[in-house]
Structure 1
């Protein structure tokens, strides 16, 4: 028995959601296929089971879909006017014009123009009718079925000219829909073209130009000025500036030297670099971005789920209404059969739910693609919509609102000298991952102190408070002043407490070092506010965010100094990780709240928030996996852009759905005075579809 496969394929010529859904149903019916799921936004299908590309293309023959392996190069799209399958449209259009001229001379019902109109209908609508009849037999009332009934019905009651016009307008509308859908996908396709397909490497002393698929981890990649990097890696030789806009959205080039991490798709601007490859091509940061964005487009937003459910009820309702409209007035009021059948057919055409079904996915695909191009990964339509309706944004302080690189500013020794204090504290803290501990270790290293020679025993981290360890038989503590309030029965001496308060009022974080009987020293550490923080908070408040909150484990005095400088509306200090989680839960109980952090710390709060936003995701797998939205650069200014884009997307989705339903309602009202014609019905349906798609494409123009 062959092994069960789950494989993705790229599909060329997806032009509408109806076609995508029909293709998915057809694939599910194939022998050997257990399940199939179409991703319209990424123009992909994931198939569970065993099948072939030939079988898949046969399932998509109704739209002449072309299928290829996911790893293959992108097929360049021909303009629709050059595609061979559209030649029949040109022939039909010529026949329509000639027949219309002949009808003016001989009369519309004369055999010569009628034959011309009939030929235009058959040539232009042949594939449409085949699919329409197949679906009619299966009682699958989709767009093709409705159009087939309407066109053949028009011919049956002698409306040859309008039947032919509908065929041609419908064919043109499909071509325009295909063009619009391709435009919406261009952001992702442009990402896929960023990285080179081959690169120069040094292997066994030889320089070789090889395809990226053959590059191995550990190979040395040689990147000349003006070239793009093909793989992720670490610089082993050379210094240069790299344009990382494709990955992080940063407009300013970044200087890279030995031991710095670099990413595939970035542009080397100046120097010659040698880079040790650290990831295979399918594992690079760029590959992960593309995968995440494509998968995010498959996730349905709440509004899209609503529209899909509505369309399932709406389409059968339109068919029933059209039948009743066609037969009720003639049967019960003695009205003309011809007129009411004609208006029933027109209702079938105008009732096609194309514009409604495409209204949400077109906006989501465009918005997510634009965000990815600007270094923001939004992992699904649901998170895009949620971000657009946020009222509260909570920030972790260290590394988010502040630079995350704290420095030791003051050492106040009560016993011993400063160097002894720093050496002891660095020895205690070197096992800690806290940014403040890193600042003390850096200080000791810069002073050239031999702190690694100090023997540490029984090391233990005290969550949210500090650390303790035994040195030469004595238990030492390093941590927040609150820790010493707990371990010392008499508390902290008044003079020391006064000094602590004085340092905290300067916006510094104070750590105490000592034993359970005495405080040996105070070490003050400052982490400066990001230059952009104040401006970002102001922009968020202007954009409609009602409350910005800073969450920190730091003391109240330091937190208030930093918080006031940043301009946040609320400050929550001296929080343990579980306190931050409880804080997010309390806000979420009232309104939608986002948590902004680094994606590594505060993971519970990121997960609990309505939207978890991680900063500095480039090269950080945890951030890419944990958060709902990832700002690839360590740049807070991307946050107002993300909120702006999300709100714009939410507005456009509402506009699209409202317009789609309004145009249908208006068309139905035109029936009663007898103004609705078949060609007006087609133009209403086609026009609405094109307008909502073009409206969605406006999201590609949203900038920071």
Structure 2
């Protein structure tokens, strides 16, 4: 069973991790997930979950007293609107909730500034202390209150405790100005964090606008407006210009241009005529069209994408998990060290208790891990949003981090590196025969086949097939076709077919699929059919090499000659040809087992026959998987278009996000370590402590926000 809670007002990435961890420890809970973007807590269990509501609320309020907890019923009809509604609601509330905080911080800052300025002109210590105390309570009252509540709940060692003890201690030792400065800068840092989270949430939530609100369905000859969930498979819907396509289906009447930018990132609209597929989430730009629905709303493309977007932040990267665990043990350790500084150092080093108590408080301010616990999840959150805006759906920050370590890329050829559309490249007639003779015979021979190769021959022939002159059609498995046309026996197929009927002909060495054609036992020529390399394949692979993805391998079911030709054009040094779908999985296993590097391995496929290999890879990347259920389910990264350049863009985004995370870790730990050492030896003052804590936190948050601009 599953139960979802809506946590209204949840903005802190660190608190989210704590709530997720504690909720997962509730008896009977098998899985706990907090989605910061949606502000939800999802709990999985094998038993009835209503009895845990009070316990969940206590856990949430233990870390976030002001967050409102309510049931988010995933089984209700309204839930399908839930993500959209809550998303819009939370975005407006984010903006409204910030106003009183900004006003409070501004008032506290003005009083603080007035107290500091007046101390230069009014020699009245009592006025200064009262003014600074008032500013302190305005700025830090909520922090003090949370610290007290958490202590009463047994949650002692957290950032509220550290900020409260260190700032009150600063007051006690006469560092009034510094004590207020700690709270002022801390509140500014928290404000920046919430603004950054809100911006990230808006960035990702803007993608949710693809969700259609209604569908115009034809019932009993009338057009009825209903919810997309109420439309059944096989029903006909009408989509007018300017409306979103509400459900997946095929156009059965009319023609139009569809704006797919919200789904794929493509700026150029696609034409849609009778027989073409129309996917939910697209916007109808020009004409009125009728669509026969082929999928229920819950299985539609738009629902799959919404689900991916909503759950993207629930899978944590190793860096996030490490920092959460690090902070859990780090905070008690530094509190104990501060106590030892205050008690042991005066007895061993000397200098008096007042001096070392002051340094203990300085040490506490320095040690607060806010910069790490806030900026790292924020960076990944922004990275997922940045990727999504470019048509790259990453299922979790763990996959984004894995993508940043990519060093081996295995790609399927057809539909991934090539367009997957077969076309006649050359017609090579034998002596005494013309190109038209070869095309006529082969087109009529392939007239009953729907195979892409047959379709390409008929398309190139370009004339209407007169089926009345065709007789004795026989498909010879694995070899080709035998058919009579106007009484003449025509053979069309591979070299094995020619050998079986003792047709003498020379083997064609052209790259591609070769169809040999014979008439009445005599060879009349052959047709070379090949796929076309995508225009961005070469540049995309070159960009990947520049980013350190040196080991690029191609897998294909095509013959050696075709594979070699494509590999040569794309500068791929290693490839494997003539592979059946099941062979690809085995070959991929062989590649992974033979690796000598520690980087990750990704497989890129078109999402049709490649699902098993996608699932097996460290990172499965589904290329052009729009509308492919198998790809969306099996892949870890879904590229909404078939552009190879999106692979390079995904790796670039992942590496940039990881670089920001690494910068924040090095900057935060480096500065803190330096000032902790200075604090232990009594060199660092409260002002240095303030910079190393809230100053670094603000820098880390601002650095994290750079990801949103990529």
Q: TM-score range by the shorter chain?
A: 0.7 to 0.9
In structure 2, what is the equivalent of residue 463 of structure 1? none
Q: Does the alignment pair 1:20 with 2:16?
A: yes
CA contact (8 A) 1:80 1:179 kept: no
CA contact (8 A) 1:221 1:277 kept: yes
Q: Measure how far apart 1:341 and its partner are.
A: 1.6
In structure 1, what is the equivalent of residue 307 of structure 2? 291
CA contact (8 A) 2:552 2:573 kept: yes
Measured in 2, the distance between the counterparts of 1:225 and 1:425 equals 40
In structure 1, what is the equivalent of residue 335 of structure 2? 319
| TM, length-normalised to structure 2 | 0.82
Number of equivalenced pairs: 672
CA gap 1:65/1:279 in 2 versus in 1, 3 angstroms: farther
The C-alpha deviation readout for 1:450-498, integer Å capped at 9, x for no partner, is 59986779x97xxxxx3799999xxx999765x779x97xx998x53x3
CA gap 1:199/1:595 in 2 versus in 1, 3 angstroms: same
CA contact (8 A) 2:371 2:700 kept: yes
Give the counterpart of 1:124 among 128, 139, 148.
139
CA contact (8 A) 2:14 2:324 kept: no
CA gap 1:77/1:393 in 2 versus in 1, 3 angstroms: same
Give the counterpart of 2:707 among 674, 699, 704.
699
Measured in 1, the distance between the counterparts of 2:472 and 2:199 equals 63
Q: Does the alignment pair 1:50 with 2:50?
A: yes
CA contact (8 A) 2:7 2:67 kept: yes
Q: Does the alignment pair 1:612 with 2:620?
A: yes
Q: Measure how far apart 1:100 and its partner are.
A: 4.1
CA contact (8 A) 1:202 1:220 kept: yes
In structure 2, what is the equivalent of residue 544 of structure 1? 548
Give the counterpart of 1:245 among 233, 242, 261.
261
CA gap 1:672/1:80 in 2 versus in 1, 3 angstroms: farther
Measured in 1, the distance between the counterparts of 2:494 and 2:402 equals 37
- 1:61-76 matches, cutoff 5 A: 61=61, 62-67=64-69, 69=72, 70-71=82-83, 72-73=85-86, 74-75=88-89, 76=92
- 1:509-588 matches, cutoff 5 A: 509-510=513-514, 524-588=528-592
- 1:82-481 matches, cutoff 5 A: 83-84=99-100, 87-100=103-116, 103-104=119-120, 109-110=125-126, 112-137=127-152, 138-408=154-424, 410=427, 435-436=452-453, 439=456, 448=465, 450=467, 466=478, 481=495
CA contact (8 A) 2:429 2:438 kept: no
Unaligned 5+ segments in structure 1 are: 461-465
CA contact (8 A) 1:42 1:298 kept: no
CA contact (8 A) 1:293 1:377 kept: yes
| TM, length-normalised to structure 1 | 0.83
CA gap 1:294/1:691 in 2 versus in 1, 3 angstroms: farther
Measured in 1, the distance between the counterparts of 2:316 and 2:472 equals 57
SS of the equivalent of 1:655 reads helix
Measured in 2, the distance between the counterparts of 1:584 and 1:660 equals 40
Measured in 1, the distance between the counterparts of 2:514 and 2:562 equals 9
Q: Does the alignment pair 1:664 with 2:672?
A: yes
CA contact (8 A) 2:439 2:457 kept: no
CA contact (8 A) 2:392 2:638 kept: yes
SS of the equivalent of 2:508 reads helix
Q: Measure how far apart 1:230 and its partner are.
A: 3.8
Measured in 2, the distance between the counterparts of 1:27 and 1:608 equals 31
The C-alpha deviation readout for 1:119-151, integer Å capped at 9, x for no partner, is 433443333223212333415411112112212
Give the counterpart of 2:647 among 635, 639, 652.
639
Unaligned 5+ segments in structure 2 are: 73-81, 432-436, 485-489
CA gap 1:221/1:11 in 2 versus in 1, 3 angstroms: farther
Which stretch of the first structure deviates more once superposed, 117-126 or 263-272? 117-126
Measured in 1, the distance between the counterparts of 2:303 and 2:684 equals 51
In structure 1, what is the equivalent of residue 77 of structure 2? none
SS of the equivalent of 1:529 reads coil
Two-structure CA RMSD over aligned residues (Å): 4.0
Measured in 2, the distance between the counterparts of 1:630 and 1:41 equals 19
The C-alpha deviation readout for 1:20-39, integer Å capped at 9, x for no partner, is 13444676799998864312
Q: Measure how far apart 1:654 and its partner are.
A: 1.6
Measured in 2, the distance between the counterparts of 1:492 and 1:611 equals 49
The C-alpha deviation readout for 1:164-218, integer Å capped at 9, x for no partner, is 3323332232122100111122221101123343454444333444454555555
Q: Does the alignment pair 1:6 with 2:2?
A: yes
CA gap 1:214/1:523 in 2 versus in 1, 3 angstroms: same
CA gap 1:312/1:265 in 2 versus in 1, 3 angstroms: same
In structure 2, what is the equivalent of residue 39 of structure 1? 35
Q: Measure how far apart 1:46 and its partner are.
A: 0.8
CA gap 1:557/1:94 in 2 versus in 1, 3 angstroms: closer
Measured in 1, the distance between the counterparts of 2:342 and 2:389 equals 51
SS of the equivalent of 1:499 reads coil
Measured in 2, the distance between the counterparts of 1:456 and 1:467 equals 11
Measured in 2, the distance between the counterparts of 1:478 and 1:313 equals 73
Q: Does the alignment pair 1:630 with 2:645?
A: no
Q: Measure how far apart 1:333 and its partner are.
A: 2.0
Q: Measure how far apart 1:655 and its partner are.
A: 1.4
Q: Measure how far apart 1:622 and its partner are.
A: 0.9
CA gap 1:362/1:571 in 2 versus in 1, 3 angstroms: same
Q: Measure how far apart 1:335 and its partner are.
A: 1.8
CA contact (8 A) 2:263 2:391 kept: yes
